[in-house]
Every structure is written in structure tokens, then in C-alpha cells.
Structure 1
């Protein structure tokens, strides 16, 4: 009996329940650990590095999208401008609204150009802004009852939009052309005069001065809703010049509107 009591501890087999717990613990550990092991438990752990398939495969959808985005971002400024010119074709400057997909396309191109602005301090280089510009695209829209009240659904159509900037006088003149059907193709325009002053290296503050509509027949048509018309096209507020080169200018105003203009 005494001999059995002093038997060495190393010869005493570990409890079966303890072994079961250890094996279970290893299985649980392997299930969530980024290393795996051989299928035979008693072979121990085998370190195998697992690499994401998406990182090696160039045929996956995610990879294709990343490659396409990289290609877009690597386009030259002239290529982006050409794409923008094509995107704004046939949309009447966006004044009567455009599909969301087209809007996203245009805004994406605008942002790409803004990120590569060759004139980061435009108000310190106002010679780049001086002259006459033609509006290609704007997020200002005339929809629903506004369009009906202004007669822009039926007998009055919009012509070109021009902006003349005289840096020497710190003046800006907006010209909005109109065509009236049924009155011997009467043509007229709304003229809005404003002054501006620089407030930062890229921003100008604009103050409305006066407006006129010519000829008087056109004024008679708009008289009832003149405040509505002026409220749409009044440039008062601030304008951030986000991109300008020798023939293209992009700006954003304090109402979140975007303007894309081409030198005329």
C-alpha cells in the first residue's frame, strides 16, 4: 500500500477529461486563427499564410473597378476636359434638369479638374478670369411651376448665357438670351450688372447693382414674374473659383451651385 502512494507523478496518466479539453481548445483556436494546421491533430500546427484571393486575381469585379478608377484618375487635363465637353452636350446647360446618372458623370469630371487646377490662387491671377465666358453647365434649374410661370414651356425659350468680366473695373455682367416664338422670332435678353471684390485667394464677393430686360416687349412678358426671374439669375453672394485655365472656368457659389463656363 505504501509503495503505491509514493509512485512517481510522471507515471500517473493525465485525466482523460483534461486531454479532451485541450484538443477541443486547439480545434476552436484553429477555427478562428489565420494560421491553419494539418488535418491530423497529432501532427501539430503547420504555418500556412493565407492570402486574399482578390489581391492576386485581376479578373474580379472589385479589381476591375479599381483599375477603371485608376485609369480615370490618370487621364490628362485635356482628356478630362474633352470628356466634360461631351458630357454637357445636348443638355441645355442642365437648366431644366438632367438624369441623376448624367449629373453624377458631370460632377465627377468637374471634381477631377478641380483637383488639378493649374491656377490655385485665381484671384491673384485675375487676368485668367477677365473677358467673356459662355455658360456650358449649371446646377441652377428652372422646374415645375417656375418654368410654367416664366413661359419657358410654351412660347419663350432660353438662348445662350454669357458672362462678361471686366477686371479693371471689378465688374461682372450676366447676359441671358431669350427667343420668343410667334412674335416674328423676337429676340431679347436679361442683363444683370454686378460688382465684385476679392475676399481670399480663390473667392470673390459679388454685389448686385441693377438689371434690365430688352426690348420692352420682352419686359412686358416677364413683368408679372420679374422678381422670380431675377431671383434665379441674380449672382449676388460669394463665388469660389475652383478651376481656371486659358479657356475653361469652374466655380461654386454660396448656395452650393456649380458653374462651368468656356471662354467665348
Structure 2
């Protein structure tokens, strides 16, 4: 009687090392996609899953946006200064098209005011400022009466603000060509108090003209002169930064001033 030999199933532990390695290799090959299905990148033919991950830094993006805004503001200020060239602060009148151009640039700056509550940060307002533009105008008979056509020249206009004393001094400088190039100034002292986060109320206190020779020139029309430059009323501070300030008063006037370092003006 023949005997059938039944071979028991082979266990991995009983498989020769060579067969064991071959079987494991075959199992792995079934798990790995075929080469034809692997997408490769253009750089170094790397498999897709080796593509480097790009991280976006949101903070840097925000900072960049801030820089763009600052540059836009600086550009608007440069455009305003360019528009103000050659108009002598607008005191003796400017063409209507030029006036509209300037006021549009002023409005753009006001809409981007970096100090929305200026009376809460009066340290930004303190110090000496020089007028670069105003809608105050001296035209026609007023200019003739004040001798501001040929005889007397209107020079610089400064404003010194002392926030500790709540005082402001406006200084308007003149030179009289007929008096051996005599130079002098009108000084108007005023006090102010905070009326809102953007507005101050102004009270004129006293005024002087020096030297006496210049006072003699203006004496007849002194009230007219004060009526033009008197700061009495209220002033809305519509824009202020480290170098420029814009304001509007209760008479509808616009003032654009730049910071001036000489406090002895």
C-alpha cells in the first residue's frame, strides 16, 4: 500500500533565507505603484510627494501692506508740494483750476489722517510751523491799502504752539523796500482750549507790530490787517503727522503748514 506524503504548510521561519527575501520583495512590489503612474516634477524628476512645502507668512504680508499705505501717503504729500510751487501760499489769489487741484489733494490727505484724534495727542501739534498754503486771500483794494503790491512784501508766516500754556503765537513777517529794506513782523498771541477730539476754540489776546517804523506804515489800516490774520474762532485739525498739519477754521479757510525747526522765528 502506497503511502501519500502530505507536506505541511511552510512557515516563514522555516523558509530558507533566499526564498524569504524573494517572497518579501514580491509583496512590496504589489504595494508600490508602477513607475508609469508616478508623476514627476520638472526639477530633478522627483516624485510628487517629495515636492517641498511653501509656507506663507501672513505677518510679512501685513507689514508689506502697511509700507504700501505709507508710501501712498508720502506720494500724496509730494504731489501737494508740487501743486503749491510758485503760488506764494495762495495769499494773492490763484486760478480756480489750481485751487481745485490743491483742495482735492488736501481732501485725500485728510481722508488718510494718521492722527484721527489730534487734541488727544497734542504733542504732535506742539512746536513751530510754517504756513505753505492758505485760502486766506488779500486781493484788490485790500492789497492796495496795505501797500502789499510794491512797497511792502509779505514774507514768512510762522505759528508757535505751546501746549503746556495752551498758547499760540502767529508771526507774520514783512519787509518794506522803501525803508532801506526794513524788516519787521506782526505777532498775534492767542489762547486755545480743547472743544472736541479734533477741534480747539481760539481767543485772540493781543497783537504787536515791530519795529515802530513798520507800525507807522500799517497804523492807518491796522484793523484791516488784523481782520485778515486774526485767528479768533475755532480750528478743526483735519490732518497732522510728524512734518505736516492741515486745519480748517470757522470762516471756511484751509491752512496747510509744515514743521519748522527754528523755534525763534
Q: 2:211 aligned with 1:215, yes or no?
A: yes
Give the corresponding residue for 1:128: 124
Equivalent of 2:106, from 80, 105, 110?
A: 110
Q: 2:228 aligned with 1:232, yes or no?
A: yes
Q: CA RMSD in A?
A: 1.3
For the residue of structure 2 that corresponds to 1:76, the secondary structure is helix
Q: 2:145 aligned with 1:143, yes or no?
A: no
Q: Report deviation, 1:184.
A: 1.2
Give the corresponding residue for 1:243: 239
Give the corresponding residue for 1:166: 162
Equivalent of 1:188, from 184, 188, 202?
A: 184
Equivalent of 1:202, from 186, 198, 201?
A: 198
Output aligned runs, 1:14-25, within 5 Å. Answer: none
For the residue of structure 1 that corresponds to 2:164, the secondary structure is helix
Equivalent of 1:95, from 72, 91, 95?
A: 91
Distance 1:74 1:202 in 2: 22
Give the corresponding residue for 2:173: 177
For the residue of structure 1 that corresponds to 2:131, the secondary structure is strand
Give the corresponding residue for 1:258: 254
Where does the alignment leave 5 or more consecutive residues of structure 1 unmatched? 1-72
TM-score by length of 1: 0.72
Q: Report deviation, 1:74.
A: 11
Aligned residues: 192
- Superposition misfits of 4+ residues, deviation over 3 angstroms: none
Give the corresponding residue for 2:41: none
Distance 1:183 1:250 in 2: 35
TM-score by length of 2: 0.71
Output aligned runs, 1:46-61, within 5 Å. Answer: none
Distance 2:82 2:146 in 1: 29
Give the corresponding residue for 1:29: none
Q: Report deviation, 1:178.
A: 0.1
Q: What CA deviation, in whole Å up to 9, does each residue of 1:69-124 have, x standing for no partner?
A: xxxx9971000000001111111100000001110110000000000000000000
Distance 1:74 1:168 in 2: 31
Distance 1:75 1:125 in 2: 23
Where does the alignment leave 5 or more consecutive residues of structure 2 unmatched? 1-68, 261-265
> Which structure has the greater CA radius of gyration?
2
For the residue of structure 2 that corresponds to 1:224, the secondary structure is helix
For the residue of structure 2 that corresponds to 1:209, the secondary structure is strand
Q: What CA deviation, in whole Å up to 9, does each residue of 1:21-52 have, x standing for no partner?
A: xxxxxxxxxxxxxxxxxxxxxxxxxxxxxxxx
Q: Report deviation, 1:182.
A: 2.1
Distance 1:126 1:97, change over 3 A: same
Distance 1:116 1:154 in 2: 41
